[in-house]
Amino acid sequence: MTAASLASLVPLPVAIPLAGAAVAPLAARLYRPALTVVSVLALLASAAVLVVIAPTVYGGHVLVEYLGKWGPVNGQVLGVTFGVDAWGLTFALVAASIGAVLLIFMVSDQATLGRREAGASACLFLLLDAALIGGALTADLFNLFVWFEVAALASYALTAFFLERPPALEAAFKVLVLTNVASFLIFIATALLYTRHGALNLGQLHDALVGHTDSADLIALGLLIAGFATKAGLVPFHGWLPDAHTVAPGPISALFSGLMVNFGIATIGRIVFSLYPGTGAQVLGLLMVLGLVSAVGGAIFALLQDDLKRLLAYDTISQMGVLAIGLATASPTGLAGTAYHLVNHALFKSLLFLCAGAIVHATGATNLSNMHGLARRMPWLVGAFTVGAAAIAGIPPLNGYVSLGLIHQALERGHQTVPYVLTLLAQAITVAALGKAVLAFFRRQRNPYARDERLRPGMRAALLLIAGACLTLGVAPEWVLNNLIEPASAALSDAPAYTHAVLSGGGQVDPHRISYHYLNPLELALLPATVVLAAPLIWLARRYRDSQAIRRVRSVQTGSVNDYASYLVVGLLVTVASTALVPLVR
């Protein structure tokens, strides 16, 4: 197929899940098994279209489709543009393929729900996933805001889906408040840029901003970063994340943590490197600080948790920090590590949340202190959880080893010693937090579980598929790097090529090669060092879990939406000051 014919397929990966969302409730009411077929096939079909265009895009081509055939006139774009490069395609592929696996688990887990409720749940899931795919493929700032809103609306409803549970309603209210603030920030930034430049197309805005940024443009940059940092759950914009991830059902938590928050980081990368490349250096320090605080702070809070899903939620904050650190390096190696870790995080965090959901389904237990004896009762489930934990810890041959190694290598080569040390500290604390969870499964069971249920075949299949993917991406890193990650990082860093493509109906991005040694002696030496450091951290966390100092640390996450909004406002002020005031000081 020609590039033009492939470009005409670009809207389909978004349109098909949207159509599936419309059909799913009807299918559930007519014939319950049809719900699974319709909803899963919608995402698989979306992924299939993306696979069809993948060889061309990963070959360096940017596919561009102007909706309504409203193409540029003298460099001016009036309509909505879809521009598919390797960076956006990578996230879209992950969202569609992993989303299909999560949907299999969800439909199987919710087999006892009524037809109406099951159809509504699948509809909301498909809406959110379609929004993530659309946001990854769009080349229009306002269209990006629209997809953000669609994802936000679906996330409110999914968080509060079980209305009989007061914590779910409370968490949904927090998501509603904080995400609405983030939406408002993105909308104001979009309005500022449109007022200044009369453009919404990312390529057209890039040309207008290069060498011509003023205070309003830089304020818009700060607003955009703050808005999408809220979606990503970076500190101090993170207040909504632990509560929402904890109360949502396992597959919904996996959707939020594995895909939705990744969307925030992927979009920040697009904004900083594709839209504002001339001012990117001014915000790299901000991204590094946000990343380090999130990585270390999220890991510490994860270590202090007894609720398994809350532990995993805080670890998500930590992993988003690691991704922000990778972006902040601004090096080809660091960007490659970020792209790789985006894929890896979607896999291993989805696996861990599905395992947590399976434990709740089978035993009714939510706290680690009530999960003793699980290794003896469900060894294969504990094995799947251990695979996910080892992947996050960066233990070879699992996938996290390669992506973390690339980010560490970028920091080392950039002589960023303090960030390097803090990143390693965050990794050691993460190993301790997840190690504490794994050890809890092997302790002797003292009390019976609240219930004794068997996992359904769809749930088992989903766990097996994602665990297998974690292993596959770890044992074949050369192929993944050469064919997927290098094109993705090159597409993000080559703003002029992306701009030319979206304004001329297509273009080419030249790939760059990443130098990476799998058996890096330093990286291999750091593995036992982090494990050795993690052991006393586990002991300290258990020994002083009820101490006054620990209670004070936990009190930062107060549960009050007012406090969380205050954290967000403080983060907003710091972000805008960092982007808008630093150039004036110079």
Q: How far apart are CA 265 and CA 260, in angstroms?
A: 9
3-class state of residue 520 by DSSP = coil
* pLDDT at site 583: 58
* Whether residue 5 has pLDDT greater than 80: yes
* Whether residue 75 has pLDDT greater than 80: no
3-class state of residue 257 by DSSP = helix
Full DSSP string of 533-564:
HHHHHHHHHHHTTTSHHHHHHHTTS-S-HHHH
Segment 491-518, tens digit of pLDDT:
998 889 999 999 988 888 887 888 888 8
What percent of the chain has pLDDT above 70?
98
Segment 359-384, tens digit of pLDDT:
998 888 888 888 888 888 889 999 99
Sequence-separated (6 or more) residues with CB below 8 Å from residue 263: 91, 95, 132, 135, 136, 151, 231, 232
Whole-number mean pLDDT of the chain? 89
Residue 178's pLDDT band, with cuts at 50, 70 and 90, is: very high
Determine the average pLDDT of the residues in 142-152.
94
Q: Which residues face 307 on adjacent strands? A: 367
Burial class (CB within 10 angstroms; exposed 0-12, middle 13-18, buried 19+) of 417: exposed
The answer to whether the beta carbons of residues 312 and 434 sit under 8 Å apart is no
The answer to whether the beta carbons of residues 278 and 209 sit under 8 Å apart is yes
Determine the average pLDDT of the residues in 573-585.
76
The answer to whether the beta carbons of residues 261 and 317 sit under 8 Å apart is no
* Whether residue 2 has pLDDT greater than 70: yes
Q: Which residues face 104 on adjacent strands? A: none
State how far Cα 179 lies from the chain centre.
Answer: 15
* Whether residue 586 has pLDDT greater than 70: no
Segment 286-332, tens digit of pLDDT:
999 999 999 999 999 999 998 999 999 999 999 999 999 999 998 99
Q: How far apart are CA 433 and CA 311, in angstroms?
A: 8
The reported pTM is 0.94
3-class state of residue 512 by DSSP = coil
Per 3-state DSSP, what percentage of the chain is helix, strand, and coil (rounded to 5)? 80, 5, 20
SS3 for 451-492, per residue? CCCCCCHHHHHHHHHHHHHHHHHHHCHHHHHHHHHHHHHHHH
User: Where is mean pLDDT largest: 105-119, 203-217, 407-421?
Assistant: 407-421
* Whether residue 102 has pLDDT greater than 90: yes
Phi (first) and psi of residue 164, to 5 degrees: -75, -5
How far apart, in Å, are the Cα atoms of 286 and each of 205, 221, 280, 328?
A: 22, 12, 10, 8
* Whether residue 585 has pLDDT greater than 50: no
Segment 380-417, tens digit of pLDDT:
999 999 999 999 988 888 888 999 999 999 999 988 99
- Torsion, Cα of 219, 223, 224, 228 (10° steps): 160
* pLDDT at site 279: 65
What percent of the chain has pLDDT above 90?
57
